[in-house]
Structure 1
């Protein structure tokens, strides 16, 4: 596991992936804690604006429940939020986007789920950026399973920060 210090930032992303600040108020809460810590590792980076970047994991095809792929995308890297003497520990890793249109889901790796995945966010509709190199999901919402990770401090349906999916950053 390779961790990145908070003081190390990358100003420009030059590859396909997800750029997402998760929820700015949550990140600010962690950063204000005496023992709060945000760590990125395994390929994720923290950008100058405080958002996180998860690069596309090109060698991994997302499988559907059948025998083929469903056109989903898998992303490398992880971000871990900790605080409250270890009582708060949330890790977002193994991000995948599956589905189409307003049925798109962002899931994360979950060792406790029989499927090994947890549906974390419903992404909703996406819009193409004016340059055509990215899609923006402007209002992802927390799923019921995702809310459980926050001990329901955020309820199912809570809107999180916009998520940008870079498809051709050139």
Structure 2
């Protein structure tokens, strides 16, 4: 594991059906503190989180906040400062709630994706039981919350974009 490089980034294709649902609400909003790119061909939104120095040899940290709001603020899902812990097929994706207290939730198990649909470097984020709390039980453990690509921010995400999903 190398140290933090300002060009290091995590690109997250957060669950497209959820993102589209929020944006279709009259008061729905998707806000992100980093870069957001939409692949015109697939319609996928890719959210970029910049790399930060790791805490240990099996730890990768990123900065940024992705927030989904709607239903007169009754729906407020905040995914802040993602962190990947572990190596090989035993990786876990953690997220914070945007607060300063260091609270983290083990949101998803990471499953490598290979081949034409996933492309090189893509990982499927599979929701944990703890992660279901963020979505008030709407999604179940084992459901996908999208894919992540660990890459250089200078890479064009379109070159690595997976096929459209829901």
Deviant stretches of 4+, over 4 Å: 126-129, 167-170
Cα contact 1:101–1:124 (8 A) shared by 2: no
Q: TM-score, normalised by structure 1?
A: 0.73
**Whole-Å separation in 2 of the counterparts to 1:126 and 1:73:** 19
Cα contact 1:16–1:167 (8 A) shared by 2: yes
SS of equivalent to 1:149? helix
Q: TM-score, normalised by structure 2?
A: 0.75
Residue pairs, 1:34-49, within 5 angstroms: 34-41=26-33, 44-49=34-39
**Whole-Å separation in 2 of the counterparts to 1:104 and 1:95:** 13
The residue aligned with 1:149 is: 134
SS of equivalent to 1:161? strand
Cα–Cα, structure 1 residues 135 and 53, in superposed 2: closer, same or farther, change >3 Å?
Answer: same
Give the number of aligned pairs: 141
Any stretches of 5+ residues in structure 2 without a counterpart? 1-5, 40-44, 156-166
Any stretches of 5+ residues in structure 1 without a counterpart? 1-13, 63-68
The residue aligned with 2:95 is: 108
Cα contact 2:9–2:151 (8 A) shared by 1: yes
More strand by share: 2
2:110 paired residue among 111, 123, 137: 123
Higher relative contact order, chain-length normalized (CA < 8 Å, sep 6+): 2
- Supply the RMSD in Å over aligned alpha carbons: 2.6
